Amino acid sequence: MPTALDGLLVVDFTRVVAGPACTQTLADFGAEVIKIENPDGGDDTRHYEHADLAGESAAFVSLNRNKRGIALDLARPEARAIARELIQKADVVVENFSAGVMKKYGLDYASVAPANPRLVYCSISAYGRQGPFASRPGFDPITQAESGFMSLNGFADGPPVRTGTPIVDFATGMSACNAILLALLARDRLGRGQHVEVALFDIAVALTGFYGMAHLMTGLNYSRQGNSPNGSPSVGVYDGSDAPFYIACANDRLYRRLVVDVLDRPDLASGEFGDRRSRTANREKLRGILAGIFASDIRDNWVTRMKAANIPVGFLRTIEEAFNSPELRERHRLNQIPHPAAGSVPNIESPLRLDLTPLVDPVAAPMLGQHTREVLRKTLGFDEDRIAKMAEAGVFGAAGSKG
């Protein structure tokens, strides 16, 4: 079956998280993504400490599926010439270098767009490419902290807490992918590409969501409320006699179903607990009552009864428990894919589903410089003699000179 992005050529200058997450989605749906890395170590995530197989980290493997990797030392004019040739053929360029780096190499949008006016060029940065903060370095947790987003995470009596995964990075990658696809649609109508930008700080501000909007409407400074938004006693974590679970009875109908049909306590559905505002005003009292009831039986029994009553409830799982759960198995989210050094690596499939234009069969993230010669031959038409001379000149780094 055809894929959604068949024939789309993407030149990927990104590294770490946000940029690679963006380009991986394009690659998953059929775009030819050529990832350009510095031959001296490559993408920083190759060396992250979470885990590794055959020298490839979990972070790198999880963010660079379905790409072809080449190594270019952009400090050398021959390497920059190769990059420019690729960009001239490309539909999309994505970069997340520090401010001024692409311009220094003559690879910024203003420099390359005249030779390829249909190019969609996406820049990902911490604070945007324009203005007084453009040169500031920034990472996910910094923007979580500065945007107010971090102040919303954690418990009221504790400090702000960053999210466990770099959620601003991932949301920025998703947003950058959306921006690229929008620009490609616009290109069909306008006949030309454009420069699009996505900044981590802007995304972090957007992630404050209705708390940010509520501040603008009321002037109040909203803060941490733990696992229960707005302090709701019928939303959050409770403990069975053996293990925790999460319930989300966010409206009167669901709450009544919980206390009447599951707990057999109709008295909790009237008076001081009769509506959402009353329950919030008396949340500590109600939370204590509910905690006492839930502690009287094991988690599985409570979850089974609540599911039978069609109440939103879930196990509070560890990563290990989640990855062995029936939900994950039935959704067919995991597989193994071949890897040239490790034999195979695990794969978490893209969460997106398109019936008529499905995902490509997954290919493992490239080894550093793995496809350099292939790309130069097949995409740019270089002959072996030209490639060999460039290798000897160090255009592909020390390792590339030996292959």
**What pLDDT is attached to residue 230?**
76
Strands 56-57 and 52-53, sheet pairing = antiparallel
**What pLDDT is attached to residue 241?**
98
Identity at 1, one-letter amino acid code: M
**What pLDDT is attached to residue 294?**
98
Output the six-digit token pair for 145: 């902290």
**What pLDDT is attached to residue 229?**
81
Place of tokens 């509910």: 290
Residue 394, Ramachandran bin (φ over 0: left; ψ between -120 and 50: alpha; else beta)? left
Q: Which residues are identified as catalytic?
A: 169
Long-range residue pairs from 347-353, CB within 8 A, at least 24 positions apart, any chain:
347/65, 348/62, 350/24, 350/25, 350/28, 350/29, 352/25, 352/28, 352/29
Identity at 180, one-letter amino acid code: I
**What pLDDT is attached to residue 54?**
84
pLDDT digits (tens, 9 = 90+) for 223-263: 999 998 877 899 999 999 999 999 999 899 999 999 999 99
- Residue among 242, 358, 231 at smallest CA distance from 295: 242
**What pLDDT is attached to residue 399?**
65
In the three-class reduction of DSSP (H, G, I as helix; E, B as strand; rest coil), residue 132 is classed as: coil
User: What CA–CA distance (Å, rounded) separates 81 from 152?
Assistant: 47
User: What CA–CA distance (Å, rounded) separates 287 from 49?
Assistant: 40
Is residue 28 a contact partner of residue 50, using CB atoms and an 8 Å limit? Answer: no
Is residue 63 a contact partner of residue 23, using CB atoms and an 8 Å limit? Answer: no
**What pLDDT is attached to residue 378?**
96
Strands 195-199 and 9-13, sheet pairing = unpaired
User: What CA–CA distance (Å, rounded) separates 28 from 358?
Assistant: 9
CB-facing half-sphere around the CA of 102: CA atoms within 13 A: 27
In the three-class reduction of DSSP (H, G, I as helix; E, B as strand; rest coil), residue 280 is classed as: helix
Is residue 66 a contact partner of residue 363, using CB atoms and an 8 Å limit? Answer: yes
Residues of the chain with pLDDT under 50: 402-403
In the three-class reduction of DSSP (H, G, I as helix; E, B as strand; rest coil), residue 14 is classed as: coil
Place of tokens 């493992």: 364
Give exposure, 257-283, as e/b (b: 16+ Cβ within 10 Å). Answer: bbbeebbeeeebbeeebeebeebeeeb
User: What global pTM score does this model have?
Assistant: 0.94
How far the first Cα of the chain sits from its last, in Å, is 35
Structural domains in the chain, sorted by start: 9-207+333-400 (3.40.50.10540), 229-239+244-315 (3.30.1540.10)
Helix (H) or strand (E) run with residue 274 in it: none
Burial of 385 (0-12, 13-18, 19+ CB in 10 A): exposed
User: What CA–CA distance (Å, rounded) separates 255 from 236?
Assistant: 13
Q: What is the 3-state secondary structure (H, E, C) of 57-92?
A: EHHHHHHCCCEEEEECCCCCHHHHHHHHHHHHHCCE
pLDDT digits (tens, 9 = 90+) for 46-71: 999 888 888 889 999 999 999 999 99
**What pLDDT is attached to residue 53?**
86
**What pLDDT is attached to residue 137?**
87
